[in-house]
Structure 1
Amino acid sequence: MARFTFRLPDIGEGIAEAEIVAWHVKVGDRIEEDQQVADMMTDKATVEMESPVSGVVVELAGEVGDQVAIGASLMVVETEKAVAEEAPAAEAPVAEAVEEQVEAETPGVPEVVEAPAPLPLAGGTGGGPVQATPTPEETSPPPTPPASGRGEEVRHVLASPAVRARAKDLGVDLAEVKHDGQHIRHADLDAYLRYGSGQGYHAPHASRARADEAVKVIGMRRRIAENMAAAKRAIPHFTYVDEIDVTALEAMRADLNANRGSRPKLTMLPFLIVAICRTLPDFPMLNARYDDEGGVVTRHGRVHMGMATQTDAGLTVPVIRDAQDMNVWQLASEIGRLAEAARTGKIKSEELQGGTITITSLGPLGGIATTPVINRPEVAIIGPNKIVERPVFVGDDIVRAKLMNLSISCDHRVVDGWDAASYVQALRKLLETPVLLFAD
């Protein structure tokens, strides 16, 4: 028997460590060669780790959420024979390690479990362990408990069944309700709810409040938290918002969808990306990445469009490479492919890197305006908002129009407010005259 140390390999991307997001084995498990043992997260991509050997798991590197350095031990396996690059054996043999694990997981002799305290019994506390032989005090019949359940001090609280039922639904203890007569009436209960509780009105469903829950921030959520915090710390954001009339664009989109054949259905997003790509050459400071340490801004000639996508694991940003060379149909197809890959966890690590500018949209959930956070090290992010129909003046006439607010957040170290406003005006011109999107 020998021990093999499976060290975390260099997964690429120039990373120094990776986070454990899932274990598929535990100490004591027998595993086979090429069996999946763990999921490791690097930046925003999850990589499946497979065991290079067969044997029994003796040691795991840590818990879910822990970071493991490249080259450090991820797992120790007891093998049938020596394997190349075998790690030094630990002092305790594997049989002992496995036995200890089994013992830790195997229930022992059942302990005496204290039952929840019932209503008080005559002469007893009602809260001790269940006894095999009842005491004389316990065998005596208990007195009938008071209706309110609060003992002698509230034994004489009187109220009609209707008032008691209402108080129970509201979570109100009738012993705390002040009243002038012998019986508590609905008016007394109303007064208590308004003034007498000391805490204002008692919500009917207050007793249904959920318990507090502590959730460890790991995996994708931790990456998002780290990236967003770094972006807000390092980047002086400013946001500019303008209103765009997309009535003509929506009419064109409807016509194209009606005659799309087998091509994908067009949303607003492909048109926005085409407009962004057509206007960026005149505003190169926006299609850029800022190197904080080197103090260098790289203005990119190609548009690698980041597309913020919500998944069950959190927000990811797949990248549409060379978006400037695609038409609306090609963009719609690529948007659908990347979004599906992101939501199903099949997105490749290289498809999450290299963006030069990002677009983020909440679709029909979008509100009046957004202030999106820049996807560092980019310097700009564009956020279209919800399309709404409103009456607008056209000369002396009032017409129905479809309007959309467009937000852009920029890095003020690189982009001035004048630049951002001028850029949105250029976008506005294309979107309000959509035939220009297809003109050479």
Structure 2
Amino acid sequence: MGTHVIKMPDIGEGIAQVELVEWFVKVGDMVSEDQVVADVMTDKATVDIPSPVAGKVLALGGQPGEVMAVGSELIRIEVEGAGNLRESAAAPAEPAPAPAAAAAAPKAAPQARVEVAAVTAPPAKPAVAPASRPAPVAREANERPLASPAVRKRAWDAGIELRFVIGTGPAGRVLHDDLDAYLAQDTQTSPAPVGGYAKRNDEQQIPVIGLRRKIAERMQDAKRRAAHFSYVEEVDVTALEELRAQLNQKWGDSRGKLTLLPFLVRAMVVALRDFPQINVRYDDQAQVITRFGAVHVGVAAQSDNGLMVPVVKHAESLTLWGASDEIARLANAVRTGKAAREELSGSTITLTSLGALGGIVSTPVVNLPEVAIIGVNRIVERPVVVKGQIVVRKMMNLSSSFDHRVVDGMDAALFIQAMRGLLEQPATLFVE
């Protein structure tokens, strides 16, 4: 028998260190060739690390959330044959402090994962397993049991701590059936609180690692470096909504239904022709502003694991339905965790919308190194004065933020006013 050491690979792009996001194995597990053993995260994406050999896990080189240098030891595996470790260095590395804590967390979207470690005290009435189910498996306080992302989300929503749920799947993995059994026995053994209320004293500690850490760092960096200022303008989208309804009625079945976003992307593209100083990226280290002829629109999208910004490349070349299809494709890639690294980078301006939750006003954070982000608030019907008459119109606010180091207030205001004119007179969106 020999020992095979897997080192942190060179991800490319000059990256010298990466963050260990999660393990999919623990000490003592048997792994097969090409089995994914861990995920690591760079500034742009999460990368799967497969095992090139089959064998038994001897030691793990770090804990989730730890930043590791490229080339450092990631994992040791006992293999048939000589392995790749010389005899002089064959002594196993010190295992991770708590192997159980490094057990596989659920595999979430490849581009975004957030680890949740629950540390609450056990419930007053411990779960009693039915006779037909396996006996409870003792777990340490900081151990994260195996479970799929869907099971973890369901448990989170139900206020269930997975550490106390008996897992009947492979290697003790918690299944949906296990949650059903836990909920059923909890209902049978726990008296209903008087009046439907009950005190809760549980707590959870959530490590800020993986994508959540990257989001926090980028937001903090953007607010610290960019001189933000916001500009809000209301837009009468009555005519635009009528046009959208007509287009969907005529071509929705054959070409797909249009949302508001493709029209907003088109308005940005047309308005930027007159304001190229806003379609830029600012390298504040080199003190260089790069203007782009192409309009690469980042569309901020909320996933189960955090905010991500897939990029609609060359929006200037897309029709309404072309932009609609690309936005839908990217949103689905983000939700399913299949967005590629190049699909999450390279934007020159960002569009962010909370849809029906868009509120009245927002102050979005500029997506550095861009200098502008356009925020879309919800559409509401309200009375307005048109040609001396009070009429009901569909109104929407554009809440946008700019980097004042690069964009002057007058230019920002004129740019948003240009977008407003295009949206209020939607025929002008298509006049070349």
For the aligned pair, the TM-score class normalised by the smaller chain equals 0.7 to 0.9
Matched-pair identity in %: 53
- Assess if the C-alpha contact under 8 Å between 1:4 and 1:86 holds in 2: no
Instruction: Determine helix, strand or coil for the equivalent of 2:407.
Output: coil
Aligned counterpart, 2:81:
81
Q: Does 1:389 align with 2:381?
A: yes
Q: Which amino acid aligns with 2:17?
A: E
Instruction: Extract structure 1 runs of 4+ deviating beyond 4 A.
Output: 84-88
Which residues of 2 match residues 17-416 of structure 1 at below 5 A?
Answer: 17-84=17-84, 88-91=88-91, 205=197, 207-260=198-251, 261-416=253-408
Deviation at 1:101, TM superposition (A): 7.6
Deviation at 1:369, TM superposition (A): 0.8
Q: 2 CA distance for matches of 1:63 and 1:93?
A: 14
* Alpha-carbon displacement from aligned partner over 1:196-255 (angstroms, at most 9, x marks no partner): xxxxxxxx94x5245332211111111100100000111110000001100000000001
Q: Does the 8 A contact of 1:277 with 1:303 survive in 2?
A: yes
Larger radius of gyration: 1
Question: Could you say if the C-alpha distance between residues 86 and 428 of structure 1 is closer, same or farther in structure 2, counting changes exceeding 3 Å?
Answer: farther
User: 3-state SS of the aligned residue for 2:268?
Assistant: helix
Preserved contact between residue 59 and residue 76 of structure 1 (Cα < 8 Å): yes
Q: Secondary structure at the match of 1:364?
A: helix
**Are the structure 2 counterparts of residues 390 and 101 from structure 1 closer, same or farther at C-alpha, using a change threshold of 3 Å?**
closer
Contact persistence 2:2–2:82 (CA under 8 A): yes
For residues 396 and 226 of structure 1, the distance between their equivalents in structure 2, rounded to whole angstroms, comes to: 51
Give the AA of the match of 1:214: Q
Kindly state the Cα deviation for residue 47 of structure 1 after the two structures are TM-superposed.
Answer: 1.3
Alignment match, 1:190: none
TM-score scaled to structure 1, two decimals? 0.73
CA deviations over 1:63-111 (Å, ceiling 9, x no partner): 11111211111111122112457685343699xx8xx989xx9xxxxxx
- In the alignment, the residues of structure 2 paired with residue 87 and residue 366 of structure 1 have an alpha-carbon distance, to the nearest angstrom, of 62
Q: Residue 230 of structure 2 contacts residue 363 of structure 2 at CA under 8 Å; is this kept in 1?
A: yes
- 2:26 touches 2:99 (CA, 8 Å); kept in 1? no
Separation of aligned partners in 2, 1:315 and 1:227: 11
> Which residue of the partner structure matches residue 156 of structure 1?
none
Quickly say closer, same or farther: Cα 1:259–1:215, change in 2 above 3 A.
same
Structure 1 pair 285–85 and aligned structure 2 pair: CA distance change class (3 A): farther
2:4 alignment partner AA: F
- Provide the rounded CA distance (Å) in 2 between the counterparts of 1:351 and 1:264: 22
Q: What is the distance in 1 between the residues matched to 2:232 and 2:381?
A: 18
AA partner of residue 225 (structure 2): A
Go from structure 1 to structure 2 and tell me whether the alpha carbon gap of 1:403 and 1:210 turns closer, same or farther (over 3 Å shift): farther
Q: Could you tell me how far apart the structure 2 residues matched to 1:334 and 1:45 are?
A: 20
Preserved CA contact (<8 Å) 2:44 2:345: no
Q: Secondary structure at the match of 1:262?
A: helix
SS at match of 1:386: coil
CA drift of 1:8 comes to 1.4
- Structure 1 unmatched ranges of 5 or more: 106-115, 117-167, 171-203
Q: Which residue identity does 2:215 align to in structure 1?
A: I
2 CA distance for matches of 1:209 and 1:42? 38
2:109 aligned partner = none
Matched residues in 1 for 2:220 and 2:87: separation?
A: 39
Q: Gapped runs of 5+ residues in structure 2?
A: 104-123, 125-192
Call closer, same or farther: CA 1:333–1:86 in 2, change over 3 Å.
Answer: farther
Which string of whole-angstrom CA distances, capped at 9 and with x for unpartnered residues, describes residues 107-162 of structure 1? xxxxxxxxx9xxxxxxxxxxxxxxxxxxxxxxxxxxxxxxxxxxxxxxxxxxxxxx
Other-structure match for 2:415? 423
Further displaced range: 45-54 or 369-378: 45-54
Q: Tell me the residue number matched to 2:117.
A: none
2:241, 2:321 → 1: CA distance? 16
- CA deviation vs aligned residue, 1:383-409 (integer Å, no higher than 9, x gap): 011000011111221111000000110
Distance 1:43 1:264, change over 3 A: farther
Residue 259 of structure 1: SS of its match in structure 2?
A: helix
SS in structure 2 opposite 1:62? Answer: coil
Which deviates further from its counterpart, 224-233 or 214-223? 214-223
Q: Verify the 8 A CA contact 1:5 1:86 in the aligned structure 2.
A: no
Preserved CA contact (<8 Å) 1:44 1:220: no
Looking at structure 2, the residues matched to 211 and 362 of structure 1 have their Cα atoms a distance apart, in angstroms, of 31
Contact preservation (8 Å) 1:386, 1:405: yes
Q: Which amino acid aligns with 1:405?
A: N
- Normalising by structure 2, we get a TM-score of 0.75
RMSD: 2.4
